[in-house]
Amino acid sequence: MTPIAYLSGIDTVKDAVENILLGKFIRDTVFEEIIPTINMSSDELIKYSEQVFLRFKNPCIKHYLIKISLNSISKFKNRVLPSLLGYIDIYKTLPKRIIFSFACLLLFYKGIRRNEVFEIQEGYRIKEYFATKWDMFNSGKISLIELIRDTLSNEFFWDKDLSKIPNLVDEVNSYLTLILNYDIENILQKLSK
């Protein structure tokens, strides 16, 4: 949610989950790509998820996405990657919404939102890694798919080489290419159908 919403110009969790397009995307991701991968009662998970969505909509709480973005690589590794891998194990295919989220995460580390530079909330080593990779891409020294392959194979980030997962690099590349050529909202509309 965080990189997609923030790059779309949304600043708070409440605004993200209440946005018609993004709210649907988040719910569909949770109920169709995350819950099925968790080894617990689906009734309990659905009930818990609904409670979380209610908390996210609480007008008295301001959850700023830029603050939540702190340590996003670690959060993705620990919170989202298990669902991505679990989905592949169960369905033998890649979860399209999680892959789109992954592409947005990589773009988030470029540090530009709607042509404005923002401060990435991350440790020095990861910030420098992405600053170097995006500079190399922008100067034509590496292609987008090389940036993605290098990042997905970085075991410091993921504790494993994700570039070895069949079609993952290509799918992240497809989404990231679309995002760079169009906009996030356009792709969210297509994913919501």
CATH of the domain at 126: 1.10.1040.10
pLDDT at 58: 81
Q: How far is Cα 18 from Cα 41, in angstroms, rounded to an integer?
A: 27
List, in sequence order, every residue forming a beta bridge with 12; answer none if it has no partner: 64
pLDDT at 42: 82
| Positions of the chain with pLDDT under 50 | none
Q: Are residues 102 and 2 in contact, defined by beta-carbon separation less than 8 angstroms?
A: no
**Residue ranges making up the domain that contains 44:** 2-191
pLDDT at 138: 97
What are the helix and strand counts (H, E) for the chain?
Answer: 13, 2
Distances (CA, A) of 14 to 58, 62, 94, 99, 145: 7, 7, 28, 23, 34
pLDDT at 59: 82
Taking Cα atoms as reference points, which of 32, 6, 31, 30 lies closest to residue 19?
6
The span from the first CA to the last CA of the chain, in angstroms, equals 18
Q: How do residues 120-163 score in pLDDT, each as one tens digit?
A: 989 999 999 999 999 999 999 999 999 999 999 999 999 999 99
pLDDT at 61: 81
Q: Are residues 73 and 10 in contact, defined by beta-carbon separation less than 8 angstroms?
A: no
pLDDT at 54: 82
Count of the separate structural domains present in the chain = 1
Taking Cα atoms as reference points, which of 152, 171, 191 lies closest to residue 93?
171
pLDDT at 192: 78
Distances (CA, A) of 32 to 9, 19, 26, 74, 126: 25, 19, 10, 23, 31
What angle do the packed helices 96-108 and 168-181 form, to 10 degrees? 60
Q: How far is Cα 27 from Cα 46, in angstroms, rounded to an integer?
A: 11
